[in-house]
A and B are shown apart, each in its own frame.
Chain A
Amino acid sequence: MKGGYWGKILRINLNNGRVWEQAPDEALYREYIGGSGIGSRFLYDLTDGDTDPLGPENPLIFMTGPFAGTTVPTSGRHQIIAKSPLTGIYGEGDAGGTWGPGLKRCGYDGIVIEGASEKPVYILVREGGAKVLDAAQLWGQDTYRTDEMLKEIHGDNITVSCIGPAGEKLVRIAAVMHDGSHARAVGRTGLGAVMGSKKLKAVAVSGSLRVQVADQEGLKRSIREAAPTMVQKTIGMKQHGTAGGTVGTERIGDFPLKNWSGSVWDKVENISGQRMTETILTGRYFCESCIIGCGREVEVKEGPYAMKGAGPEYETLGMLGGMCLVDNLEAIAYGGELCNRYGLDTISTGGVIAFAMELYERGIIGQQDTDGLDLRWGSAYAMIEMVHKIGKGEGLGSILGYGVREAARRIGGRAPEYAIHTKGLEFPAHDPRAFNSLALGYATSNRGACHLQGASHMFEKTVVMPELGIPEPKDRFRRDDQGEFVKTCQDLMCILDSLKVCKFTLYAGLSTTHIREWIKLVVGWDVDLEELMAAGERIFNLKRMYNVKCGIRRSDDTIPERILKQPRTEGGAKDNLPPLESMLDEYYRARGWDQSGVPLRATVERLGLTWDL
C-alpha cells in the first residue's frame, strides 16, 4: 500500500481503559476495502448470534475508507458498525462531515471500541494515541452543546462524534451525531444506544498528519478532469439540498404519506426544498472533500418553532412531514433540530410517530396512552411533542423509542398491522410501490429496510453505469430481470460504503472507472472490474452470513402487507404492487443462496469467506 491507508486500527477497551494498535495484513484491506467492509469483518469475528447488542461484548466500530483525508470528491465520510439494538442483527450507518478525515489525520484507519465504562467517558484521539477521559460534565447535554463544550476544552480544531440524551437513555432509534450544528447523523439501526450502553458520550479526533497518496499529481489531474461535470450534474442538489427532490418524488408516487397509506398530497410544495430556499435558508455547507454541498443552514427567527441550525433533509421532510401529514416547514425544521440535539434518527422517529398517529386515529390507542396529547394526522404540535417524549424516553415516547416493531408488540392488538418495517428497521422515505426493485432491496438489505444499501431506484431514475450492464435507466415498474440487477446494485453500494464515497456522486456521473483509477492513484493498487465487484459481493455476503448467525432466513426477507397488497390509488405509482416472491426467487439464484436464503458453500468458497466453515 503506497498510500490511502495507515495500516493501523486503534483498539480501545472501556472495561479497563486499555488502548493499543492493531496492524492488519494488507490482504484485509484489499479484500474488504475499508469502512463497511472492514467493519463488518471485525463485527463478524468479535460477536455472534447470541451477543447482546447493549452488552459490553458488542464492539462499536468506527471505520474510514482509503480516500478519507485526500481530495477524492465526497470522500469525507465514515462508517459506524455494531450489532443493532433496534433490529438484533447487523447494524451500520454512515455520515459525511469532517470526522472521518479527522480520524485519518490522527494516523488511524479506524477504531474498534469494546467493553463498557462504569461511568461516563469520552475518547480523545490525537496523532499516535488516544485517551479515555471523564465525561461527567458532558452527560445529559445535547449533541450541539456537547460539541461546543469539547471545543471549549480542547480547541476548535477537534471534530466530535457524540450521542445526545436519547443515546444515553438507550433509546433504540438513537443516532450518533457529528459536527455540532452542521449536523451529520449516523442515524440508522440505533447505534447511539450502543454508544450509550458503553457510557461513551463522545469520540473527539484531532490530528494534522497528511494522508499519503501514491500519485499526487495523477490524482490532481484526474479530479480536475472529473469534477466540473460532477458539479454541473448535481447543481440542483446544491441549490435546494436533498429536499429539492420532494415535489418530484410525490409526483412519481414515491413520497411517503400518512404512514404509507396515502397516495397524493397537494400540500407537498409547502415543505419542498425550493420553498426552504425561498424562506428559511441562510446558508449551505459541505462535507470535507465534497463538490456537491447539499447541507442546509436554516433559521426560523420567531414563533414556536424558532431555531437556527441544520436544515431538514429530504428524509426528514418525508418522515416528519409527509408521513405525519404535517405541511408546516418551520415545524419540520424544528422537529429535525430536536432530533439532532437529542441524537435521534429522523427516519425512524418520523416512522414511529406516524405509526402512533395511525393507531390514535383508529382508536387503538387513546389520550389515556398519549398523556392527553391529541395525536391527529397533520398536527405539528403533536409531532413535536412526540419527538420530545421519544428523546426523553417519557410516556408513549418510551415505547415508541423501541422502534415500530417492538412498540407494536408491546401495544398489542392490531398494532402490528400498521408497523411498517423490515427486520425491525423503519422504512425510509421511498415507496417500494414506486420502484419494484426497492421492494427486493428493502427485503434483502442486511440492515433492514433501506434505500441506500442497494440504491437501485437511482438506476431507475436517471443514473446509468454501462460497464455494469446498465446502459440506460431501467423501467421502474418491470416485474422481472430484477435479481441480478439488485444484486449488482447492492454489491456496488458495499464498495461505496467501504471506500466511503458519497452515493450522491452516482447522480454526478461516478463510474467504476473513476473508482478504479482513484484506487490506483491513491493506494497504488491495480484493481480490475472483476476484483472490485467481487469485493462488493464478498462484503454483502459476509453481512448476510452474520445475519444468518442471528437467525435470519427467507421469511425475514419481506416487506409489510400494506406495501405488498394495498396499492396507491392515485398519482405516479397508481395501482402498482411489487411482485416480491418471484423477484426473491430470481435474486437468491443470482446470489448463489439456497431457497432458505443461506449462502451456498460454493458461493462462500468462491468469495474466500471460508475461514468460519
Chain B
Amino acid sequence: MVVLISSIYSEKLGCDKYRMELTKPVKLIEVLEHLESALPALADRKKGRVADRYAAHYLCIGGGRILRLGDTITNRDTIEIIPPIMGG
C-alpha cells in the first residue's frame, strides 16, 4: 500500500510517499502505529496512543473518504495524510 504525505508534513518527515507491504488487511490504526514508528516526526514528539493524536495532529483520507481508525486497509489501497480539519 502507499501512504501519500501532504507537503505540509513532507519536509518534516523527509519524504512525500511511504510504501508498506501488507500481507493481509489491517486496521488503519495499525498502519499509523507502524508509520509513527518509521517516521517518528509524524507523532510530533508526543507520547501516548495513536488514537489520542488522530484527528488532532493529522488525518487520513482515502477513496474520497475521511478514514476512521477502525477502517480496513488492504495492500491495494492508497491513503493520504493531511492536516486535521477543524474550525471555520
Binding site for B on A (CB under 8 A): 232-237, 240-245, 247-249, 251-252, 254, 269, 272-274, 294, 313-315, 318, 428-430, 451, 460-462, 472-473, 475-477, 504, 507, 572-574
Contact = CB atoms under 8 A, between A and B. Distances in A.
B31 interface: no
Task: Please provide the 9 A-B residue pairs with the shortest distance between their CB atoms, ordered closest to farther.
Answer: A242-B87, A314-B88, A248-B85, A236-B84, A462-B55, A245-B85, A248-B82, A507-B86, A242-B88
B15 interface: no
Nearest to B57: A236
Given A232-B52, A251-B80, A272-B8, A237 B68 contact: no
**B57, B64, B83, most chain A CB atoms within 10 A:** B83
19 contacts: A234-B56, A234-B86, A235-B57, A236-B57, A242-B87, A244-B84, A244-B87, A245-B85, A245-B88, A248-B83, A248-B84, A249-B85, A251-B61, A251-B82, A252-B61, A252-B85, A294-B87, A313-B88, A507-B86
Interface string B1-44: 00000111000000000000000000000000000000000000
Contacts of A313: 87-88
Contacts of A232: 52, 56
Band of interface residues on B: 20 to 34
Contacts of B80: 251
A472 B57 contact: no
B64 A477 contact: yes
A572 B86 contact: no
Contacts of B88: 242, 245, 249, 313-315, 318, 428-430, 451
Contacts of A273: 83
Contacts of B76: none
Contacts of A244: 83-84, 86-87
Nearest to A316: B88
Given A251-B61, A430-B88, A476-B66, 19 more contacts: A234-B86, A235-B57, A236-B83, A237-B86, A237-B87, A241-B87, A245-B83, A248-B59, A249-B85, A252-B66, A269-B7, A273-B83, A274-B83, A294-B87, A315-B88, A318-B88, A462-B85, A475-B65, A507-B55
Contacts of B57: 235-236
SS class, residues of chain B in contact with chain A: loop
B79 to A, nearest CB: 12
Interface of B: 6-8, 52, 55-57, 59, 61, 64-66, 68, 80, 82-88
Contact of A504 (B7, B59, B86): B86
Nearest to B64: A572
B72 to A, nearest CB: 14
A247 B86 contact: no
Contact of B61 (A428, A460, A472, A572): A572
A229 to B, nearest CB: 8
A432 to B, nearest CB: 15
Nearest to B52: A232
A251 B86 contact: no
A461 B52 CA distance: 16
A247 B82 contact: yes
Contacts of B52: 232
Nearest to A575: B64
Contacts of B66: 252, 460-462, 473, 476
A269 B8 contact: yes
Nearest to B7: A269
Given A269-B7, A461-B66, A473-B66, A247 B56 contact: no
A248 B6 CA distance: 9
B68 A242 contact: no
Given A236-B56, A269-B8, A315-B88, A473 B68 contact: yes
A315 B86 CA distance: 11
A241 B86 CA distance: 9
A262 B49 CA distance: 38
A470 to B, nearest CB: 13
A451 B85 CA distance: 14
Contacts of B8: 247, 269, 272, 274
Contacts of A248: 59, 82-85
